[in-house]
Structure 1
Amino acid sequence: MTARLPWPLAYTVSGDDCAAPMPLGFGAPLAEAVRRLAELGYDGVEVQVRDTTARDAHALARTAETAGLTVLGIGTGPVAAQDRLTLTDPSPDVRRHALHRLLGAARLAGELGVPVTLGQTRGTFLPGLADTQRTWAERAVAQLAEEAAARGSRLLLEPQSRANTSLWHTPDEALAVIGSFDAPAGLVLDTHHLDAEGVDTVRAVAEHAPVTGCLQLAAPSTRGPLTLRDPRLPALLNALRTGGFTGWLTLEHTQDGDSPRAAARSWTALADAAAALS
């Protein structure tokens, strides 16, 4: 299927440092996950890490390569999801710890030569602290972008719904922040979060394809595996193609209790959509 697509296809997996598999990724240890995904025809993985740095790059790459896959990106969701560390926490120690973890992920990504992504770890506002917390987050994320660039990586900022974070919900809001950085950065677009914020997903993908490093996909409404003959999939693929997208696609969705079946369903749905473009 991916021979018909001009972009690599990845699946979300959890690094071995995670306390448990992330619920929007393959529900198995990393070595098993990459083996099963390779059997299904995926090209690579987007690895969610909790506390991993450059020293772990060789082992991580070897695990993926042994299965015939490539690490395409490093995600940082577990930093907040599993350890409740954010860049806007009222505690200075928590903020420093969160940034330390994110900088470690950026160094890992640089060693692997792939981007590092940032989502919910930027945090949420408390009453009366919004302006101060915004400043904390902007300064920290600018530092993260600079560290990523210095290490040969690139920060990709993900617009997320207000259910996840108080900051940067739309592509335009994320781009405004990126534009203030001294280091190059780009976007991750996630169909679930765009839908939740009432953003026209196909239009957003078409408009922002040149600055988007990754498109994360899930079924509308359910955030589950992709469904066969979903009419939006060919439209999204066409928007990527015409917009000049040069990144990768990631399946990031619930597993419905059976990751191999969920991954197979999404692969089949994208295969069908790609064939419709031929």
Structure 2
Amino acid sequence: MKLCYQVATPDVAISPAVTAFQGKLDDSFRKLAELGYDGVELMTLNPLELNWDQVKGEADKNKLDIVLICTGEIFGQLKLSFMDRNLDVRNKAKKQVKGIIDFAAYFGSNVNIGRVRGQYCAELPKEVSYGYAIDSFKEISEYAGKKDVKIALESVTLMQTNFINTVQEAVNVVKDVDNEYFKMMMDVFHLNIEEKDMFEVIEKYADYNIHVHLADNNRRYPGHCGLDFEKIITAFKNTGFDGAFCTEIFQLPDQDVAAAGAIAHLRPILDRVYK
């Protein structure tokens, strides 16, 4: 079990909408290591703009594991997705994700698929859009499998996309893709909104889950609002989950306070639950 924090690489534009620690990587890694985090989830856009040896060196120096690479800002900042009506946009999205898969393979990490999957639009029949998504998922999964990288598909609230809102919907897609390297992940923030009973879902679909995002019910740091994280983490532990728990939160009131607040709340809980 590892407690991790999301960190944006320098190619991601500084923005208050980004749910990750931002700035120079050496500073970000040092601060998070000093707080006691075990690892990081990197949010990146253009890995070729980065010095991979330097990123790994900074992580190693601070004894931080790089557990996952997040693709969210491929849609957030580049507006690329797998379900766009434009073939060129879809191809650019797949090319961008393949570059991130290469980046992940270098660190022995996995890759998250969130908003880059796209969404249904009024101009296309749903079955056409769905076909675009499945074809893209199959292509990137085959590519990832050759590099021993797993893809973690994330269910996302209807407030952000109209495609794959529940874990059941994510599992249906995983079955349609039918590739051992195409799995899914659970984000507690989205589960709390979209699921009737998140604890039932955590147990029922545990075999598909390879990663967990943690945030309170207002997307701020855990312990800031109303979710019972001892109950949530215990539910994951009871399924046999022993992977990475990573924050994906708004950096409010600022990233230093958010990072300190998250670990102050979560570390004692994880220590009790995982002993």
Query: TM-score scaled to structure 1, two decimals?
Result: 0.90
Report which stretch shifted further, 85-94 or 36-45: 85-94
Q: Does the alignment pair 1:20 with 2:14?
A: yes
Give the conservation status (yes or no) of the 8 Å contact 1:111–1:151: no
* Cα distance in 1, alignment partners of residues 168 and 111 from structure 2: 20
- SS of residue in 2 equivalent to 1:179: helix
2:121 maps to which of 107, 118, 126: 126
Alignment CA distance shift 1:231-1:257 (3 Å)? closer
Q: Which residue of 2 aligns with 1:186?
A: 183
Q: Which residue of 2 aligns with 1:115?
A: 110
Q: Does the alignment pair 1:217 with 2:211?
A: no
Q: Does the alignment pair 1:59 with 2:54?
A: yes
1:268 maps to which of 251, 264, 270: 264
Shift of 1:8: 0.6
Shift of 1:60: 2.2
* Cα distance in 2, alignment partners of residues 156 and 13 from structure 1: 18
Tell me which amino acid in the other structure corresponds to 1:226. P
Q: Which residue of 2 aligns with 1:143?
A: 139
- SS of residue in 2 equivalent to 1:180: helix
* Cα distance in 2, alignment partners of residues 56 and 91 from structure 1: 32
Q: Does the alignment pair 1:77 with 2:83?
A: no
Report which stretch shifted further, 119-128 or 35-44: 119-128
1:28-39 matched pairs, under 5 angstroms: 28-39=23-34
Q: Which residue of 2 aligns with 1:105?
A: 100
Alignment CA distance shift 1:56-1:147 (3 Å)? farther
Deviations 1:106-156 (A, max 9, x none): 121122211111000111221141221111111001111111111111111
Alignment CA distance shift 1:151-1:56 (3 Å)? farther
Give the conservation status (yes or no) of the 8 Å contact 2:221–2:259: yes
Q: Does the alignment pair 1:256 with 2:237?
A: no
Q: What is the percent sequence identity of the aligned residues?
A: 25
Shift of 1:180: 2.3
Shift of 1:53: 5.2
Q: Which residue of 2 aligns with 1:207?
A: 204
Tell me which amino acid in the other structure corresponds to 1:156. A
Query: TM-score scaled to structure 2, two decimals?
Result: 0.91
1:9 maps to which of 3, 17, 21: 3
- SS of residue in 1 equivalent to 2:202: helix
Deviations 1:214-255 (A, max 9, x none): 1101111x1101117966211112111110113210011111
Shift of 1:271: 2.4
Report which stretch shifted further, 255-264 or 24-33: 24-33
Shift of 1:166: 2.4
Report which stretch shifted further, 240-249 or 54-63: 54-63
Give the gaps of 5 or more residues in structure 2: none
Tell me which amino acid in the other structure corresponds to 1:83. L
Give the conservation status (yes or no) of the 8 Å contact 2:10–2:23: no
Tell me which amino acid in the other structure corresponds to 1:23. V
Give the conservation status (yes or no) of the 8 Å contact 2:33–2:64: yes
Alignment size in residue pairs: 271
